[in-house]
């Protein structure tokens, strides 16, 4: 019996409420993320060509970015609280709970929440100029984290799957608050003043928003997989987690490809 199961109905209620809030905030956040990436990119370009960007950008973007950034904050916060409740308090973190938290488990936890700084350094390095090579490097780092968590870390399948997801979610929330939102504030101010934004700002905001889109799809899988692991997918171990990361990234690439097909999208 886990600590969560044995702690009575109050923990069950808290678990349910946190999941509910997590999903609501996540819908708010990811819904806006997909709007920005699959709808607004083409729309904004059309508005710029029509010469009305000075009007639409200062009106639309602050409203959308408000819900976007606060959705990100509350999704991340409720997600961390769920990790604490279900895995750290609930005793589901380790494959063998009797072994206790060793150095590998603590390192796994550190990677989950500090891995964002490795990611950020990667995409501030010269390697970021080549999206393909940077993407391969990022996948290798994700694979290394998954292998470490599942072997040396001693984490259970459910634990290392959701902690890879939490690593993505932390990087995504970081991007929103410390890369996308500051750049967007400067873009909105420049556009409202009738000036051209610094080209570095749209490039930065766009790149990190794309990264968030790519991370979001495998992250959703890892959330859902928490409820299907017992059905047999756990037998694939970290190979299954990495396969779903790759499949998720490919799906996002397909979504971007479709988003550029105006004849297909605008037809009735």
Domain that holds residue 163: 5-265
Tokens of 129: 């100029």
Give the torsion through C-alpha atoms of 127, 151, 116, 234, to 10 deg: 100
Distances in Å between the alpha carbon of 247 and those of 66, 123, 171, 254? 31, 22, 19, 11
pLDDT of residue 1: 42
Handedness of CA 194, 198, 203, 204 (dihedral sign): negative
CA distance 93 to 82: 12
> What mean pLDDT do residues 199-219 have?
97
Q: Model confidence over 68-110: pLDDT tens digits?
A: 999 999 999 999 999 999 999 999 999 999 999 999 999 999 9
- Neighbouring residues of 92: CB distance < 8 A, sequence distance ≥ 6: 2, 4, 86, 156, 158, 159
Q: How confident is the model at residue 8 (pLDDT cuts 50, 70, 90)?
A: low
- pLDDT tens-digit readout, 160-193: 999 999 999 999 999 999 999 999 999 999 988 8
- Residue 266 scores a pLDDT above 90: no
16-27, pLDDT tens digit by residue?
Answer: 999 999 999 999
What local confidence, expressed as pLDDT, does residue 233 receive? Answer: 72
4 with 85: CB under 8 angstroms? yes
Query: Mean of the pLDDT values across residues 36-52?
Result: 84
Q: Which of 142, 121, 107 is nearest to 219 (CA)?
A: 142
- pLDDT value, residue 132: 96
Neighbours of 88 (CB within 10 A): 14
> Is 80:163 a contact under the CB 8 Å cutoff?
no
Closest to 2 in 3D by CA, of 80, 93, 103: 93
Does the structure show a pLDDT above 70 at 231? no
Please state, in angstroms and rounded to a whole number, the distance separating the CA atoms of residues 256 and 114.
29
Mean pLDDT of 18-40: 97
pLDDT bin (cut points 50, 70, 90) of residue 250 is very high
Reduce the DSSP state of residue 100 to 3 states and report it.
coil
Phi-psi region of 125 (alpha: psi -120 to 50; beta: other; left: phi over 0): beta
pLDDT value, residue 232: 62
d(CA 227, CA 229): 6
Q: Determine contact, residues 169/139, Cβ cutoff 8 Å.
A: no
Segments of 75-204 assigned E as strands = none
pLDDT at position 46: 81
Domain count, the chain: 1
pLDDT, residue 79, reads: 98
Question: For the residues 235-253, what does the mean pLDDT come to?
Answer: 94
Give me the chain's average pLDDT, please: 92
pLDDT of amino acid 6: 47
* pLDDT average, residue stretch 11-15: 91
Q: What percent of the chain has pLDDT over 90?
A: 78
In the predicted structure, residue 228 carries a pLDDT above the cut 90: no
Helices (H) and strands (E) in the chain, counts: 10, 0
Banded pLDDT at 120 (limits 50, 70, 90) = very high
């Amino acid at each position: 019996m886990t600590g969560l199961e044995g702690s009575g109905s109050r923990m069950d209620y808290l678990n349910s409420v946190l999941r509910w809030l997590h999903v609501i905030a996540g819908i708010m956040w990811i819904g806006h993320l997909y709007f920005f990436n699959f709808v607004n990119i083409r729309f904004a370009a059309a508005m710029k060509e029509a010469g009305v960007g000075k009007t639409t950008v200062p009106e639309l973007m602050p409203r959308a970015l408000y819900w976007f950034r606060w959705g990100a904050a509350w999704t991340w916060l409720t997600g961390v609280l769920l990790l604490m409740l279900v895995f750290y308090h609930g005793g589901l973190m380790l494959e063998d709970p009797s072994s206790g938290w060793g150095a590998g488990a603590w390192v796994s936890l550190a990677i989950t929440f500090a891995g964002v700084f490795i990611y950020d350094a990667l995409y501030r390095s010269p390697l970021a100029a080549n999206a393909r090579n940077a993407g391969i490097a990022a996948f290798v780092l994700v694979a290394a984290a998954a292998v470490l968590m599942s072997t040396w870390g001693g984490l259970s399948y459910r634990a290392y799957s959701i902690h890879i997801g939490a690593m993505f979610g932390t990087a995504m929330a970081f991007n929103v608050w410390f890369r996308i939102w500051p750049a967007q504030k400067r873009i909105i101010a420049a556009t409202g003043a009738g000036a051209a934004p610094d080209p570095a700002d749209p490039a930065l905001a766009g790149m990190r928003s794309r990264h968030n889109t790519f991370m979001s799809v495998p992250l959703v899988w890892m959330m859902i997989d928490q409820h299907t692991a017992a059905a047999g997918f756990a037998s694939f171990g970290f190979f299954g987690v990495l396969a779903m990361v790759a499949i998720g990234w490919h799906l996002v690439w397909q979504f971007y490809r479709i988003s550029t097909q105006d004849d297909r999208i605008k037809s009735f």
